[in-house]
Amino acid sequence: MPSKKNLAACVAVFSVIVGSLAITTPLSAAAKEKVLHRFCSAHNCADGDGPVAGVIFDEAGNLYGTTSIYNVVFELTPNNGRWTENVLHSFNPNGKEGYELDAALIMDRAGNLYGTTARGGASGNGTVFELILNDGKWTCKVLHNFDGKYGSLPMASLILDGKGNLYGTTYYGGIISKRCPAGCGTVFELTPGANGKWSERVLHTFTGYADGALPWAGLMADSNGNLYGTTEYGGDEGCFQDGYPYGCGTVFELTPTGGKWTGKVLHSFTLSEGIYPLASLVSDTAGNLYGSAYEGGGGTCDEGCGMVFELTPNNGKWTEKVLHYFDGKYGGHPAATLIFDGAGNLYGTAGVVFELTPNNGEWTEKVLYNFKGGKDGLYPVAGLVFDSSGDLFGTTYLGGINDDGTVFEITP
């Protein structure tokens, strides 16, 4: 995870507009921001610090999330317009449960929470954990310790299938090469067995070349059980030149057949469109995939301010279309998963909270909220979530109290 100083420097590039794909000046929107919680408000930051992951809702309207510093899982409960934080579990950096919570949580039907720690655990390579609610108390159980060989540094959220199996990615581990001295990353499955034990199965190990390297983001599954994801590096050999020795990233698909998984690269990114996809993918009802690239394009950012893309399938082939280039003034460096509303608009964070609206094949950006960097928060790096009223909820890594981050609500 970059330091707070480096992240603050990234935010500072939002300065002068250069251009976008179709409409050069995004529409502004009258949206109201409300800070629900400012971290490090408790003694010794016992309530957490520096959330880089988003929040999720339960059926009762409570929010759950994690912080990457001071390593807590928290709950925010609403009551007459005010929100109260409750720390469900604190991870000890010197313990065996792991530490550095960079990923959003997921919840099963019983209300149990699942997540990853990027570091720590039995061998220091990170863990998968479950928080189990019983009689109002939460108990942490480590489901898997990564060993480095078959996975290391799990930074992304998990997904859960109907049988209770968990799927995810590790940034390192697997095949070691000159390009990936710590391994090029893996896709894994965790299956619950007898006596509460979970077994790991590696579904794919990246080579660092055409199939990609170093998956930062988590996975998405379709109705047929196929898995989709992105790798930060690897892909098109043309991107291994001109100062990009590790490639510019890929979109991949994993298909299960007869108990085996087959990998396929759907798209390799190039310098001319956008590079380094860090976010998970989302799909629409037609099966098109949507995501973002952290850099590339134009704007005032070094190496470009990034973009939002769509991948459309046709007879087994996928065609990429850039929907929006960020310019630096109205957002830049998108790293979080997008979400759809019921009308087909896309929402996300890129230093700002934005909306992309389609109209006759073109997409228009609307900045819903531009953070000022004070008590309202700064640098929203995580994805957003809707409540039942259509309000947006998310986190900022900085801002709040002494730059320790916030949880916020945006009301259109």
Q: Is the pLDDT of residue 16 over 50?
A: no
Q: Is the pLDDT of residue 218 over 90?
A: yes
Q: What is the pLDDT of residues 53-87, one digit of tens each?
A: 999 999 999 999 999 999 999 999 999 999 999 99
Task: Give the residue from 214, 217, 209 showing the smallest Cα distance to 239.
Answer: 209
Range 353-362 average pLDDT: 96
State what percent of residues in the chain have pLDDT above 70.
92
Q: Which of 95-104, 236-245, 326-335 is predicted with the least confidence, judged by mean pLDDT?
A: 236-245
Instruction: Tell whether the torsion through CA atoms of 87, 381, 241 and 228 is positive or negative.
Output: positive
Q: Is the pLDDT of residue 102 over 70?
A: yes
Q: How confident is the model at residue 4 (pLDDT cuts 50, 70, 90)?
A: very low
Token pair listed for 161 = 């299938």
Q: Is the pLDDT of residue 240 over 80?
A: no
Token pair listed for 361 = 């094949």
Q: Is the pLDDT of residue 11 over 60?
A: no
Mean pLDDT of the chain: 91
Phi-psi region of 172 (alpha: psi -120 to 50; beta: other; left: phi over 0): beta
Range 192-211 average pLDDT: 94
Q: Is the pLDDT of residue 303 over 80?
A: yes
Range 297-311 average pLDDT: 93
User: In Å, how far from its chain's centre is CA 397?
Assistant: 13
Instruction: Tell whether the torsion through CA atoms of 301, 306, 307 and 308 is positive or negative.
Output: negative
Domains of the chain: 7-411 (2.130.10.10)
Q: Is the pLDDT of residue 15 over 50?
A: no
Q: What is the pLDDT of residues 145-161, one digit of tens each?
A: 999 999 999 999 999 99
Q: How confident is the model at residue 7 (pLDDT cuts 50, 70, 90)?
A: very low
HSE-CB at 252 with a 13 A cutoff on CA atoms is 35
Q: Is the pLDDT of residue 186 over 50?
A: yes
pLDDT of residue 412: 84
Query: What 3 state SS string does the chain have?
Result: CCCHHHHHHHHCCCCCCCCCCCCCCCEECCCEEEEEEECCCCHHHCCCECCCCCCEECCCCCEEEECCECCEEEEEEEECCEEEEEEEEECCCCCCCCECCCCCCEECCCCCEEEEECEECCCCECEEEEEEEECCEEEEEEEEECCCCCCECCCCCCEECCCCCEEEEECECCCCCCCCCCCCCEEEEEEECHHHCEEEEEEEECCCCCCCECCCCCCEECCCCCEEEEECECCCHHHHCCCCCCCCCEEEEEEEECCEEEEEEEEECCCCCCECCCCCCEECCCCCEEEEECECCCCCCCCCCCEEEEEEEECCEEEEEEEEECCCCCCCCCCCCCEECCCCCEEEECCEEEEEEEECCEEEEEEEEECCCCCCCECCCCCCEECCCCCEEEEECECCCCCCCEEEEEEC
Q: Is the pLDDT of residue 327 over 90?
A: yes
Q: How far apart are CA 122 and CA 384, in angstroms?
A: 33
Q: Is the pLDDT of residue 2 over 50?
A: no
CB 311 within 8 A of CB 319: yes
Q: Alpha-carbon dihedral of residues 218, 223, 224, 228, nearest 10 degrees?
A: -20
Q: How far apart are CA 117 and CA 363, in angstroms?
A: 37
- Amino acid at the residue 28: S
pLDDT of residue 5: 35
Token pair listed for 404 = 């320790």
Q: What is the pLDDT of residues 361-371, one digit of tens each?
A: 999 999 999 99
pTM of the model: 0.92
Q: How confident is the model at residue 30 (pLDDT cuts 50, 70, 90)?
A: low
**Which residues, in sequence order, are bridge partners of residue 349?**
353
Would you call 333 exposed, middle or buried from its count of C-beta atoms within 10 A (0-12, 13-18, 19+)?
buried
Determine how β-strand 362-370 pairs with β-strand 27-28.
parallel
Range 274-287 average pLDDT: 96
